[in-house]
A and B are shown apart, each in its own frame.
Chain A
Amino acid sequence: MTVSLAAEHIGQNEPLQILALDGTVVNPEMMPKLSDDELKEVMRRMVFTRVWDQRAISLQRQGRLGFVAPVSGQEATMVGSEFALSKEDFILPSYRDLPQMVWHGLPMYQAFLWSRGHIEGGRIPENVNVLMPQIIIAAQCTQATGVAMGYKLRGEKRVAINYFGDGATSQGDFYEAMNYAGVYNLPVIFFNQNNGYAISLPFAKQTKSENIAVKSVAAGISSARVDGMDVLAVIKATQVARERGIEGKGATLIEALTYRYGPHSMSGDDPTRYRTGEEQTEWEQRDPLIRFRKFMEAKGLWNEQEEEKVIEEAKEHVAEHIKKADETAKMKVTDLIDVMFDTLPPYLEEQKAEYLAKESK
């Protein structure tokens, strides 16, 4: 299938790939410009995120975390896309996208508090440009157009990026948002992590479309289709999309082909009902960490000791932040009332007084 339009498209048919499975560079002209330190930081963050995910699953089983949506397998899409952003850019995540939030500056204990269902989880620090994870699938897409329009109106060189899975591309808001971004030529990146399943439903049952990237055609915006297990391809595509945005060339839809090794969420989903072991094994061979590790080792930038150091560091960081989450004061009903409005209306003042009396007993 070919797509010929005014908008620019990367890898519509064959997804953009920079690293082969053995870590060799197969597409040198698309190689993102990264220093050795930056490459090491990308590796460090992916390993860290894998460990964090394993710890999160374990903490959830112990009842020390609440809602957890596993991310193992998706490190390249999450770490890579965030790495390509400026800290000035605004992230509108879905419920699975806690890694991007944390790498963008959200303290990890707040991500844990969000998982547990605590108000402090959403109290994003002033200098961190992220929104709370979105539960209503694709609502973040339309909101991203508003954030981006704000940047455009003020003439700021910033983009809004929103993340969503393959299932979200069936939502009306996904189309409406791309269409708005097209009409107003907004600096938005629609970042799709196509992991092949929306809970139990395979991608083939979301749409008869061959892929998600082509859906940009309906809005007349640019697109990129990338190997989402190849962190360099993800970084490149996000960089290109970001440049288009800040240069006034409008929005880009990125489809990154990825896979989640774990269940949809830790709330009772059993992926063996809808996925085969062979499929899992096949995707594990494309593991973003293995592939990038081979590339890094061949360049002499990574070794086992460095990896061990990151693993320890990640475990300590998680432990320290779960402790910090534990130490956060419990919420009271009056805390909830206080954040409903700028000025409390009389009925809430009344209800607050009721609860203040209860809470002071």
Chain B
Amino acid sequence: MANLTMIQAINDAMRVELARDPKVLVFGEDVGNNGGVFRATENLQKEFGEDRVFDTPLAESGFGGMAVGLGINGFRPVVEIQFFGFVFETIDALVTQAARMRYRSGGRYTSPIVFRSPFGGGVKTPELHSDSLEGLMIQSPGVKVVIPSNPYDAKGLLISAIRDNDPVIFLEHMKLYRSFRQEVPEGEYTIPLGKANIVKEGSHVTIITYGAMVQTSLKAAEELEKNGVKAEVIDLRTLSPLDMDTILASVKKTNRAIIVQEAQRTGGVAAELIAQITEKAILHLEAPVLRVAPPDTIFPFAQAEDVWLPDTKAVIEGVNNVLEF
């Protein structure tokens, strides 16, 4: 066991996989000698050499396409998109190429690629660094979308993502990179993709969330508990595929639910969750399932993050709205 930050756990996951499987390659902008702009790939080039861990020219589409080519040629690329706001430069490689490779070749070729990328608000980045674009990804058939909320999950999920034989988008919330430490086992362990985690048990209302909003929701749940409200908090961990078994079991127990997300309200995973809960558990609901989410504007100017991003107060208000419905 080691007491690690999330960024250290992510670094450790790549180290474990680079050592285990010679087909694993790590590349992206500044991931080599520099060790990544957040140190996610620190020392990996030193340990594994320039053939395994290397820098690319500054062109996301170029390295996205290169990853697809390496994937069909038997390698397992772990690619870093420096900030997920830059995904638009390589969305063709990701969504129309990697995601479709197995399908369009009838299974002949595959894209066992992990696209790692930081995202997330609360750290006052410049434009297009923090946007939550996972909604665009979950509606793309052929990819899995994973968002860890803590160091332990980050390592286990990233190892699973690298071993997965299909493309995985692995989104790392910047605010969580170094905000707390956790005991993380040394060596290899996996957490299955597509499995949510009940991070706090409760019986009155279900809070479904992911990423940095897990911490916000847990704080809200503690506050609510002081007033006798027992909220169950579910950390999705994987946004595609969704763990509907865990979600529905919880909703059937609590009969009330809210979804807390950092992404804007329209579209997104909350809309999909509400649709599925309505389809599969409407008779168990005492109130509509509500969304706690930012307004449908462009991601805020840094100085407006605090008034834009959902906070503990917003989550408590959301819970109260479904309780008092």
Cβ-neighbour of B56 out of A120, A132, A151, A180 (below 8 A)? A180
A316: shortest Cβ distance to chain B, in Å?
27
Chain B residue contacts of A257, Cβ below 8 A: none
Surface stretch bound by B, among A6-14, A38-46, A74-82, A139-147: A139-147
Question: In the complex where A150-B75, A342-B165, A346-B241 touch, is A143 in contact with B65 (Cβ < 8 A)?
Answer: yes
The answer to whether the Cβ of B296 comes within 8 Å of any Cβ in the partner chain is no
Q: Are B65 and A150 in contact (CB under 8 A)?
A: no
Report which residue of B62, B68, B104 has the largest number of chain A beta carbons within 10 angstroms of its beta carbon. Answer: B62
Q: Are B244 and A347 in contact (CB under 8 A)?
A: yes
The answer to whether the Cβ of A119 comes within 8 Å of any Cβ in the partner chain is yes
Chain A residue contacts of B73, Cβ below 8 A: 90, 146-147, 149-151
Q: Are A142 and B96 in contact (CB under 8 A)?
A: no
Identify whether the interface residues of B are mostly helix, strand, loop, or mixed.
mixed
Interface size on B, residues (CB 8 A): 46
The answer to whether the Cβ of A237 comes within 8 Å of any Cβ in the partner chain is no
The answer to whether the Cβ of B187 comes within 8 Å of any Cβ in the partner chain is no
Chain B residue contacts of A271, Cβ below 8 A: none
Q: Are B69 and A142 in contact (CB under 8 A)?
A: yes
Q: Are A160 and B92 in contact (CB under 8 A)?
A: no
The answer to whether the Cβ of B106 comes within 8 Å of any Cβ in the partner chain is yes
Chain A residue contacts of B67, Cβ below 8 A: 146
The answer to whether the Cβ of B203 comes within 8 Å of any Cβ in the partner chain is no
The answer to whether the Cβ of A26 comes within 8 Å of any Cβ in the partner chain is no
Q: Are A142 and B105 in contact (CB under 8 A)?
A: no
B11: shortest Cβ distance to chain A, in Å?
23
The answer to whether the Cβ of B107 comes within 8 Å of any Cβ in the partner chain is yes
The answer to whether the Cβ of B37 comes within 8 Å of any Cβ in the partner chain is no
Q: Are A180 and B68 in contact (CB under 8 A)?
A: no
Q: Are B59 and A149 in contact (CB under 8 A)?
A: no
Question: In the complex where A142-B66, A146-B66 touch, is A342 in contact with B166 (Cβ < 8 A)?
Answer: yes
Chain B residue contacts of A33, Cβ below 8 A: none
Question: What is the CA–CA distance of A223 and B290 in the complex, to the nearest angstrom?
Answer: 60
| Contacts of B72-117 to chain A: CB distance below 8 A | 72-75, 77, 92-93, 96-97, 102-110
The answer to whether the Cβ of B142 comes within 8 Å of any Cβ in the partner chain is yes
A349 (CB) vs chain B CBs: closest residue: B241
| Contacts of B124-179 to chain A: CB distance below 8 A | 141-142, 144, 164-166
B245 (CB) vs chain A CBs: closest residue: A346
The answer to whether the Cβ of A222 comes within 8 Å of any Cβ in the partner chain is no
Question: What is the CA–CA distance of A122 and B245 in the complex, to the nearest angstrom?
Answer: 35
The answer to whether the Cβ of A345 comes within 8 Å of any Cβ in the partner chain is yes
Question: In the complex where A131-B109, A150-B70, A151-B73 touch, is A172 in contact with B61 (Cβ < 8 A)?
Answer: yes
B60 (CB) vs chain A CBs: closest residue: A176
Question: In the complex where A132-B104, A151-B73 touch, is A139 in contact with B62 (Cβ < 8 A)?
Answer: no
Question: What is the CA–CA distance of A2 and B154 in the complex, to the nearest angstrom?
Answer: 55
Chain B residue contacts of A92, Cβ below 8 A: 69
Map CB proximity to A onto B307-321 as digits: 1 under 8 Å, 0 otherwise. Answer: 000000000000000
Question: In the complex where A340-B142, A345-B194 touch, is A142 in contact with B64 (Cβ < 8 A)?
Answer: yes
- 4 shortest A-B CB distances, which residue pairs? A146-B69, A142-B65, A150-B73, A176-B62
Q: Are A139 and B65 in contact (CB under 8 A)?
A: yes
Question: In the complex where A122-B105, A340-B103, A346-B194 touch, is A142 in contact with B70 (Cβ < 8 A)?
Answer: no
- 11 A-B pairs with C-beta separation under 8 A: A132-B105, A136-B92, A145-B66, A148-B69, A151-B73, A153-B25, A180-B57, A336-B103, A341-B166, A342-B110, A346-B241
Q: Are A339 and B241 in contact (CB under 8 A)?
A: no
Question: What is the CA–CA distance of A92 and B69 in the complex, to the nearest angstrom?
Answer: 10
The answer to whether the Cβ of A25 comes within 8 Å of any Cβ in the partner chain is no
Q: Are B102 and A341 in contact (CB under 8 A)?
A: yes
Question: In the complex where A122-B106, A173-B65, A340-B142 touch, is A179 in contact with B75 (Cβ < 8 A)?
Answer: no
Question: What is the CA–CA distance of A36 and B164 in the complex, to the nearest angstrom?
Answer: 51
